[in-house]
Amino acid sequence: MSDLKGKVAVVTGASKGIGAGIAKSFAAAGASVVVNYASSKEGADRVVKEITASGGKAIAVQGDVAKAADVKRLFAETRKNFGKLDVLVNNAGIYNFAPLESVSESEFHRQFNTNVLGPILTTQEALNHFGNSGGSVINISSVASVSSMPTTVVYSATKSALDSITRVLSNELAAKKIRVNTIAPGGVETEGTHTAGVIGSDLEKQMIAGTPLGRLGQPNDIAQVAVFLASEDSGWLTGERITAAGGYR
Ligand code: NAP
C-alpha cells in the first residue's frame, strides 16, 4: 500500500459510506485525518474512534461544504489540530434520482450546492493551507458523469461539472504543485445507496449485470485508489479521471 506517513488529510463527508472508507484507509496508511460531516456526529465520532483505537490520528469536524463560513472553520480546525494540510478529498455528495417531470428548482440547487459549490469552496480555502510542497486534491465524481442513465439528469450534471472542475483546476493550480484528480466510482454499497433504495432494487441488479467483476463496489475498493492518488506514488498524475467500477461502463 502507498505511504501517507506524516501527511494531513481532510475528507469531506466522512461520517459514512465512501468517505468513511477513505478516512480509515488514509489513517491506516499513516495520515492524520479530519473526518468532516454535515449532521451525523455519531457516525463521524464512530469513524474517529475506530481510527484512534487502531493507533491512528483523527478528529471529527462538523461543517456544511456548501457554506463558506463552515469551510473556513473546517480548515482552521485542521490547522489548529494537525498544523498543516497535504490532501483534500472532496467526497461529500448527495444524490436523488427522479424523472425530468419531477425535477424542482430547490432539488437542483440542493444537489448543485453540495456537489459542485462545495468542492469549489473547499479547494479555494485549501489553497490558504497547502504548504510550499503543494498538495493533492481528489474529487469523488461518478460513472454517472459520462453515462446517460434516465432519471439522473441533475445528479449526472453535478458530476460532469465536477469532472470539469478537476480538469480546470489541475491546470490552474499546477504551478503551486497542487495535483487535482477525479475518482469516478460505479455503484457502491453505502448508507447512502441503502437510504436511496438502490440496494435491493432493479437498478442494483442492472448495475451488477453491467459490471464485469460481478458485484457492487465497497467503500474500500474506492479508498485504495484514493490512497494512491493522495500519495507520492501518483506524483506524475494530475487532471486524471480514474474509473473505479469493476469494469462498469
Ligand atoms: P453517503 O453514504 O450518503 O454519505 C454521504 C456523506 O456526505 C455523509 O458523510 C454526509 O454527512 C456527507 N454530506 C452530505 N452533504 C454534506 C454537506 N453539505 N457537507 C458536508 N458533508 C455532507 O454517500 P456515499 O454513497 O458514500 O457517496 C459519497 C460520494 O461518492 C458522493 O459524492 C457520491 O456522489 C459519490 N458516489 C457514490 C456512489 C455510490 O454508489 N455510493 C457512486 C458514485 C459516486 P452526514 O451524514 O453528516 O449528512
Q: Following DSSP, what letter does each residue of 170-185 receive, concatenated? A: HHHTGGGTEEEEEEEE
Residue 204 lies in a domain: no
The confidence score (pLDDT) of residue 79 equals: 98
Question: What pLDDT does 249 receive?
Answer: 87
Ligand 1: nearest atom to the Cα of 41? 47
Pocket of ligand 1 from Cβ distances under 6 Å: 12-19, 36-40, 43, 64-66, 91-95, 114, 118, 140, 142, 185, 187-188, 190-193
Q: What is the CATH number of the domain that holds 19?
A: 3.40.50.720
Residue 2: the pLDDT is 80
Amino acid letter, 198: V
Evaluate whether residue 206 is within a structural domain: no
pLDDT (tens place) for every residue of the chain, 249 residues total: 689 999 999 999 999 999 999 999 999 999 999 999 999 999 999 999 999 999 999 999 999 999 999 999 999 999 999 999 999 999 999 999 999 999 999 999 999 999 999 999 999 999 999 999 999 999 999 999 999 999 999 999 999 999 999 999 999 999 999 999 999 999 999 999 999 999 999 999 999 999 999 999 999 999 999 999 999 999 999 999 999 999 998
- Structural domain count, the chain: 1
Hey, whose CA ends up nearest to atom 19 of ligand 1?
64
In a domain, 2, yes or no: no
Q: Specify whether 155 is catalytic.
A: yes
A 10 A CB-CB count for 108 gives 14
Does residue 231 lie in a domain region? yes
**Domain enclosing residue 56, as ranges:** 8-187+218-239
Burial, 83: exposed, middle or buried (Cβ in 10 Å; 0-12, 13-18, 19+)?
exposed
Question: What is d(CA 179, CA 195) in angstroms, rounded to the nearest whole number?
Answer: 33
Residue 16 maps to a domain: yes
What lies within 8 Å, CB to CB, of 169 at 6+ separation is 123, 137, 178, 180
